[in-house]
A and B are shown apart, each in its own frame.
Chain A
Amino acid sequence: MKKFFCSLSFFCSLKRRAGASAPLAYAPRGAGRRSAAWLAVLALISLLSAPAFAVLPDEKLADPAMEARAREISKELRCLVCQNQSIDDSNADLARDLRVLVRERLVAGDSNDQVLAYVTDRYGDFVLLRPPLKSYTLVLWAGPFAVLLIAGLGTALYLRRRRQEVEASAGIPLSDDEEARLQALLDGTAEKRGPGA
């Protein structure tokens, strides 16, 4: 199966056993009467095959505590073949190799951080699904807070200016013209109200 996938892709990724989505490749194209039934069958198949666990029984460690640490570390590490999956999720051969490697390092007595460092030494920070805080990731980490800060400052400035305008106009007496318009309004309301009430 590996050969088959490789021959399809330009860059030979270290993929993947026949996956859960394989039946979909035979989805019918015609819009015939049977297509609905077909779709139902396919939906059923894909539902049945959905829980495909990447971690194979032969990879697991005997010690449950250490296995739990291995799972925890594996979830932090990106599978470089299928880049948005962790090696814990991925069926790619390289992900399997790295899972085995993680467990070997743990058995050898490495701490979780040492295992992560071992992998990043070889594959770089990109292999970490949670990017570390460094000078070149500063925009990534601080960016949202900076936007929030700028928005907050802008709002505060706007509100302050509006309040100042209200306060500044508070002490100014009405001009003759304004006085007349106000009086007309008051009279108008009084007149309108009169017959209605």
Chain B
Amino acid sequence: MDMTSNTSNQKENAPTNVVGKPLDRVDGPAKVTGAARYSAEINVPGTVYGVLKSSTIAKGRITGIDTSRAAKEPGIINIFTHENLPKPAKTPKQIEKWRAAQSYLPMQDNQIQYAGQPVALVVAATLEAATQAAALIKVTYQAETPIDSYHDPKAELFDPQKIQQGKKDAHVVRGNPQQAYDGAAVKHEATYVHAINHHSPMEPAATLAVWEGADKLTVYEASQNVTMHQGALADLLGMPREQIRVVTKYIGGGFGCKGSFWPHTILTVLAAKAVNRPVKLALTRPQMFTGVGHREDQEQTLKMGATADGKLVSIVHTKKATTSPWDNYTESNGKVMDMLYACENYSTVYELARANVMTSVWMRAPGEAPGSFALESSMDDLANQLNIDPMEIRLRNYADYDHSNGKPWSSKSLKQCYTRGAELFGWSKRNPKPGQTRRGRMLVGHGMASATYPVHSSQGTARVRLFADGHAVVEAGATDLGTGTYTVMTQVSADALGLPPEKIRFELGDTRLPTAPGSGGSVAAGTVASSIMAAAQDVWDKVVKMAVADKKSPLYKAKPTDVKVELGRMFLSKDPKKGETLLAALGRSGQPDIEGSGTGKYGAGYEEKNFGQNGADPNNDNKEKKTGGHSMHSFGAHFCEVEVDPDLGTIRVTRWVGVHGAGTVLNLKTATSQMTGGAIYGIGAALMEDTFRDPNFAHYTNADLAGYHIPVNADIPNIQVEFVPESDPYINYLGVKGIGELGMVGVAAAVGNAVFNATGRRLRSLPMTPDKMLEAMRMPA
């Protein structure tokens, strides 16, 4: 084949420039036709079914397990209990850097530490037989009285010193907060309660464990982070990482719960090895409430001191929360209070109480969501107390730099968000006097709150393979939770290579691909996009080298450093007309394809690499040199209208506007959907989500989707979302800030603030259910 003549006639591709465009999801056709296969749907011949049996007590020990009736079910292959399940090479406790939230592995002995803890695993030829057999297993227990939460009189609050596996301090002090509070002209103190919330993704957690040989394992896992799952399995099994492959091509939501490692995965893997068959195990919906963590029940007390004109002088925050018998996980609510406003004095202290519950875990906007509920509700109170407009009080406390660390912002568009949001919402028409606006019988209220989320430093690797026939395969071991990773990375790759998006195949969700971060902490988009750009640059460099050495190239004999690449076209920086496409040069080379790889950074690591240790600002006397020179956050503002039924206490959100500044938006359609979903996730927490733990038995009484209410279609009005233009050179190559969590931060407060405006009553306990509203209505405003 004469590649040369082919390509010399080839017209140069028009620049595509698809980043930011509202492309339909590239994985959309597979999802709307049912072709997308999630982890429990991979068809591996010979697969048998695993079903877990869960403990009915929350504390005590197993005194006997009778499997005789269960074993008679037709098709039973094996019934595993702590007595016969093969042990892992190491338990989490024996692993130096255990990477998951929960360090306790059930079914290692007869101890029961929480309700719903796995006590047996049945493997059978059919799902029906395994399910029935699990029901027929008779477990006898010696039950002890459990502790249900920090509320429990038996619970003892303790100072954990560090929270989140030792990663964060449980005491943070800046300035002299108590003294500043004592001397403040205006004081406000309030306590906020947050119910237990469960992530409740629509796809239950699932593991399909396939031993390809004695020392070779493939796991199809509902995972937000295949690298994490691979690493945890390697640690537990004592196997080299490369012998374990974790695959997640499609995942039915996660919201955090599938980003940590939970017992069912290793139990399934161990059972599969023992029966020498692929074993598929999906948690039942009730097991989703005791199998993959939750947002912990918690209570925050927030003291705010301010000047007479509403300027904050002190924030004193404490948090009490329930944790498991083994781990000190708790959300760090203080982060948002430390940085959102200009305040010189700040402290937060965490206290935990051990109870018979599994370890809680990060759930969408961990810390920021409940933290902002307290902070933004108190700000609203302060505004009302001082007769200042809620948006105005926020502007008076606007932080021009990050007071938590003294660093300048890499970018911040919060003022624009306030202005644009107020305009879209019609904020100026709001009646500032609470309880004055009616629509028929309904009390109408308007509230607003700020949103913010940090840019967590992260890095990852990608591989780009550009084929001479004009298509490309781009790979990174990331995941797409529904967040649009497949789509936005296709767009980024298209622009990097100058190809139309339909000529890009982006592969993710496999540990065989280059290591990329999982979906969590809103790092995926920025990190993977940066990684792809780094890999694409590697391809550019290689093709530029080819071109400058090729007599037929317009760039022949040019210095590679004088050549720029944009949208797949190489050209002389000084004479942009002189150039050709990557494909033209590659085609002439006779090489069928060319491959590049690269590591991209997100956040502080990117800044440090590209702008030096102190960032671009030489006047920044930042002491934490290691983490770069700028503070990096996204910001936004929510505006909410509610209708409150004064007789029934029901609260309905009737209007919503969210305006956000989050750097470069990679796809306006998917980004808008994600922010809309964030607002609704927050409305769920605000108005209905509450997993109730029985105080006597410490088990959940509403552990299913009929008992645990999440928003349904009829609960939700139209949600208006906009992004303000924002460019940020410091955070990553494309200036992308993550948006997965941002949309939820401040939502519950915006709802509560609207409820206050409607009724003159402040609800400080989430969710704001009708009983709480009615009770408040009975009290004087």
A and B form one complex: no
